[in-house]
């Protein structure tokens, strides 16, 4: 007799990970693949982080930590808020998590009951809506475009029929890279505060911007849940480490959830990350080469035929409207990979409604790869 399978397992895939798998399979078969699909730095963790990890391997027991994370790392993150944003944060409000992904799970579980409705921009990071769905919450997609710089606005929230219990915002955003300036962030936070909507700010791309620095929700209010990670600016994706800054009403609930779900975040990574905030020079060097990759793509892509691009203010993505080239971005990306070896991500990952007309290029990889990819696409579309 067939065994029962839970409906939760029917969760949508994180399509970029499926594209990455296809790209790796082609590479393993000896083909020359250029990875512009996945949003991760091509660099390893900074030198001093690797040294701190080696010292921890030799000198620490590396058992469980308390669920909220090791005190020196929480203190170092609080210092980071003073130094980078001029904001005082009590280290007791900081919770270390297994990546920001762990932070989403914990914060959604603690803040929302099944059936609660949470708004988010479409296009946006796909796992927000997939995690919410699997938890029994209702993701409410806010269709945003170039007019709103692909970010939620009070007007887009006002247009939602029915109650809202939460709003998730990412600035810089994935996939568009657009940012909310301080007045725009203030307006959204005020709107949510007046209506009892929980504000969750994903600040994972802070540190990677090409003009203005990104503003933290904590510069505006103590009420938001702020989620961050060592994955992007700090170039530590595989170390699976992130953090949250929590409002008082959620701290203890999230600690209890973390104790039960994860016990603690990876201990070796926590010790290693202590060194991460002192590696600015090396990490800003990465941002400098992202900036060169960005310049190259913003020049080359329109010449190749991708001429409607979202403003890439931050993060390491270019989101392109491709309706002149296809109305099926998934098939288009598959063909591109097969015929050019360039892997990129179809927009349907980020926007189930309109994403078939969009694709995302990640420029976090090596400069030579990004340049070669642009040259291949030019030849491909000219053919
Ligand atoms: C906007 C955004 N948030 C969160 C994540 C997840 O990051 P991690 O779990 O590695 O911290 C990603 C990864 O691409 C992302 O783009």
Q: What pLDDT shows up at residue 38? A: 86
Which atom of ligand 1 is found nearest the CA of 170?
Answer: 1
Put the strands of the sheet holding 166-170 in their side by side order: 94-97, 242-245, 225-229, 198-202, 166-170, 117-122, 138-143
Nearest CA among 243, 233, 289, 234 for reference residue 265: 243
Give the distance (Å) from ligand 1 centre to CA of residue 382. 35
Which ranges of the chain have pLDDT less than 70?
Answer: none
C-beta of 362 in contact with ligand 1 (< 6 A): no
Q: What pLDDT shows up at residue 96? A: 98
Q: What pLDDT shows up at residue 118? A: 98
C-beta of 170 in contact with ligand 1 (< 6 A): yes
The region, left, alpha or beta by phi > 0 then psi within -120 to 50, assigned to residue 51 is alpha
Say whether the peptide bond before residue 172 is cis (omega within 30 degrees of 0): yes
Q: What pLDDT shows up at residue 31? A: 87
Nearest CA among 238, 213, 217, 212 for reference residue 228: 217
C-beta of 39 in contact with ligand 1 (< 6 A): yes
Mutation pick for ligand 1 pocket among 125, 179, 363 (CB with most ligand atoms within 8 Å) = 125
Integer Cα distance of 34 and 373 in angstroms: 7
At 95, is the secondary structure helix, strand, or coil? Answer: strand
Integer Cα distance of 148 and 304 in angstroms: 26
C-beta of 202 in contact with ligand 1 (< 6 A): yes
Give the distance (Å) from ligand 1 centre to CA of residue 151. 17
Nearest CA among 382, 381, 325, 310 for reference residue 357: 325
Integer Cα distance of 285 and 234 in angstroms: 11
Q: What pLDDT shows up at residue 26? A: 87
Q: What pLDDT shows up at residue 30? A: 87
Nearest CA among 147, 211, 223 for reference residue 185: 223
Name the token pair of 161. 């029929």
The region, left, alpha or beta by phi > 0 then psi within -120 to 50, assigned to residue 115 is left
At 34, is the secondary structure helix, strand, or coil? Answer: strand
Query: What single-letter DSSP state applies at residue 225?
Result: E
C-beta of 204 in contact with ligand 1 (< 6 A): yes
61 Cα distance to chain centroid:
32
Mutation pick for ligand 1 pocket among 45, 101, 172 (CB with most ligand atoms within 8 Å) = 101
Mutation pick for ligand 1 pocket among 14, 204, 228 (CB with most ligand atoms within 8 Å) = 204
Q: What pLDDT shows up at residue 14? A: 80
Integer Cα distance of 135 and 137 in angstroms: 6
DSSP output for 279-318: -HHHHHHHHHHHHHHHHHHHHHHHHHT--EE----BTTEE
C-beta of 102 in contact with ligand 1 (< 6 A): no
Q: What is each CA distance from 74 to 78, 221, 233, 235, 259, in whole angstroms?
A: 6, 20, 18, 19, 17
Q: What pLDDT shows up at residue 15? A: 82
pTM to 2 decimal places: 0.96
C-beta of 174 in contact with ligand 1 (< 6 A): yes
């Amino acid at each position: 007799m067939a065994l029962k399978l839970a409906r939760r397992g029917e969760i949508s895939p994180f399509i970029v990970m499926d594209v990455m798998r296809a790209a790796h399979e082609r590479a393993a078969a000896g083909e020359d693949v250029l990875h512009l699909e996945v949003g991760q730095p091509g660099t390893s963790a900074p030198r001093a982080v690797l040294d701190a990890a080696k010292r921890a391997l030799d000198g620490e027991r590396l058992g469980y930590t308390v669920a909220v994370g090791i005190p020196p790392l929480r203190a170092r993150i609080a210092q980071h808020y003073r130094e980078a944003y001029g904001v005082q944060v009590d280290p007791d409000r900081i919770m270390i998590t297994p990546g920001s992904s762990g932070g989403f799970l914990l914060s959604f579980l603690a803040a929302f009951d099944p059936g609660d409705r949470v708004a988010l921009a479409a296009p946006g990071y796909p796992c927000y809506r997939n995690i919410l769905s699997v938890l029994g919450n209702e993701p409410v997609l806010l269709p945003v475009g170039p007019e709103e710089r692909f970010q939620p606005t009070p007007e887009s929230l006002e247009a939602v029929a029915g109650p809202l219990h939460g709003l998730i915002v990412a600035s810089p955003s994935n996939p568009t890279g657009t940012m909310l300036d301080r007045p725009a962030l203030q307006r959204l936070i005020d709107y949510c505060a007046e209506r009892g909507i929980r504000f969750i700010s994903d600040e994972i791309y802070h540190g990677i911007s090409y003009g203005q620095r990104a503003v933290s929700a904590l510069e505006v209010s103590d009420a938001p849940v702020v989620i961050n990670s060592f994955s992007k600016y700090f170039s530590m994706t595989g170390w699976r480490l992130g953090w949250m800054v929590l409002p008082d009403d959620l701290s203890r609930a999230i600690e209890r959830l973390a104790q039960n779900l994860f016990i603690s975040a990876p201990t070796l990574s926590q010790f290693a990350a202590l060194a991460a905030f002192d590696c600015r020079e090396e990490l800003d060097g990465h941002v400098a080469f992202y900036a060169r990759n960005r310049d190259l793509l913003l020049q080359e892509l329109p010449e190749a035929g991708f001429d409607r691009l979202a403003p890439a203010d931050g993060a390491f993505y270019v989101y392109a409207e491709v309706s002149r080239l296809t109305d099926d971005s998934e098939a288009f990306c598959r063909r591109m990979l097969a015929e050019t070896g360039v892997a990129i991500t179809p927009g349907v990952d980020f926007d189930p409604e309109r994403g078939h007309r969009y694709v995302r290029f990640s420029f976090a990889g090596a400069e030579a790869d990004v340049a070669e990819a642009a040259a291949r696409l030019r030849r491909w579309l000219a053919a």
